[in-house]
Each structure stands twice: as structure tokens, then as C-alpha cells.
A and B are shown apart, each in its own frame.
Chain A
Amino acid sequence: DVKVTQSSRYLVKRTGEKVFLECVQDMDHENMFWYRQDPGLGLRLIYFSYDVKMKEKGDIPEGYSVSREKKERFSLILESASTNQTSMYLCASSPVGPNEAFFGQGTRLTVV
């Protein structure tokens, strides 16, 4: 089975902190994604990566950056966390081309 693992299920951080959300997949997928999920807004794409060290902005990249140094790992970075970044964050991966995406279990981040 494909497994996408996010490092934390729940996280509480203070305003202004630098926050790292980690995601690891074990199926050698080329594509990896970070989505943000908010009630009434669905899933919105923050960033995605289609290869090591390659990244593209999604729909809401402001306030976020990403890192992909190894194929299996995709990190989302909140440079200076703010309360409006309190949300559920979902990582996903997929093989190259138009294929099903596999999701992690989500990280519920609260910024206080």
C-alpha cells in the first residue's frame, strides 16, 4: 500500500515562529503536493513539486515556502507563523502524469 506520512497530527505554535511540516512518501512518486483545508473552502493548493529541488506555486503560496531535497520528502515551511495560518494541512503524492493522488492523514496546525 502507498503510504504518505505527515510528521505530526496536531501542532500548536506561537505567532512569529518558523514552522516545519514534514511529509514522506514510500512509493517513489515524482509529484508531491501541499494543500490547505479550511471549512467552506475545500482544499486549496499551496505548493507542489514534480521532482527533487523543483517546485511550483499553487493557488495560495503567500506566507509559505517548500523544500524537496530528496524524492521521498517534501517539507512545508511557514517562515513566520500567523494566526490566519491556523488550518488543516494535507500532503499528497502521485506518480508522474494524470494519476490518483495519495494523501497523508493531515496535520492540524493551531497558531496562537
Chain B
Amino acid sequence: AQTVTQSQPEMSVQEAETVTLSCTYDTSENNYYLFWYKQPPSRQMILVIRQEAYKQQNATENRFSVNFQKAAKSFSLKISDSQLGDTAMYFCAFMKMAGANSKLTFGKGITLSVRP
């Protein structure tokens, strides 16, 4: 079974600064996907970024980028130039690549507050 660990329950960052959210996971699979989801106060879960494990290059999506360390089973999210709208819960998630019945396994989430 896969597990996803987000050890920091809360973080705070000043607007315009950079923040990194940590995530580690445990799996015996070699091929898989990793995701970061954002859940703002509106409760709508939104995909922030995804990473395929077979790709060595770290995924980037505008101000969001990841540091994927496959050997260490680490998948951190960096948010650059933080904005007030980044205030949300962030969930790290894992998905096996094999098979049709792919489902997400989530971490416990981290609450990020961006201070004006």
C-alpha cells in the first residue's frame, strides 16, 4: 500500500515571497504519478501540478514548481511570488500508473496562509 506524508500542518508566508511545501511518500511501485492539489476556502479542489515518475525533469506551472527526488521519495512544491489567492489547503497525492482502476492516495494536507 502507498502512503503519503505531509508532516507540516501549517505554514505562513509573506506576500511576494517564496515558500516550499514538503511531501514524502512510500511505495514499491516504479511507475506512478504525483500531484499537488489546492483547496481554497471555497472548498473546490483544483489540480496545481503533476509529475510523472519516469520523467527526470521537474514539472513547472507558472509560479508553481516541484522538486521531485525519486530515490528519496520526496515531492515538494515551491510557490514563487506568493499571492493572497494562494491561501488554501494543499494536498500531495500519489497515483499508481498501472491499470484502469487508478485512484489517488492523499496526504493529510497543509494549510498555507499568505500574509499581506
Contact = CB atoms under 8 A, between A and B. Distances in A.
Interface in A59-112: 88, 90, 92, 94, 96-101, 103, 105-106
A31 B101 contact: yes
B95 interface: yes
Given A100-B50, A101-B104, A42 B91 contact: yes
B43 A98 contact: no
A100 B47 contact: yes
Interface in B74-116: 91, 95-98, 100-109
Specify the main secondary structure of chain A where it touches its partner: strand
B108 A90 contact: no
Contact of A103 (B45, B95, B105): B45
- Chain B contact patch, size range: 20 to 34
B33 interface: yes
A45 B103 contact: yes
A97 B102 contact: yes
Contacts of A88: 43
Contacts of B105: 45
Interface in B37-94: 37, 42-47, 50, 91
A96 to B, nearest CB: 5
A1 to B, nearest CB: 12
Contacts of B46: 103
A33 B102 contact: no
Interface string A31-69: 101010000111111001010000010100000000000
Contacts of A50: 100-101
A30 interface: yes
B102 A94 contact: yes
Interface in B11-40: 32-33, 35, 37
7 contacts: A33-B104, A42-B106, A44-B106, A50-B100, A56-B101, A90-B45, A100-B50
Interface of A: 30-31, 33, 35, 40-45, 48, 50, 56, 58, 88, 90, 92, 94, 96-101, 103, 105-106
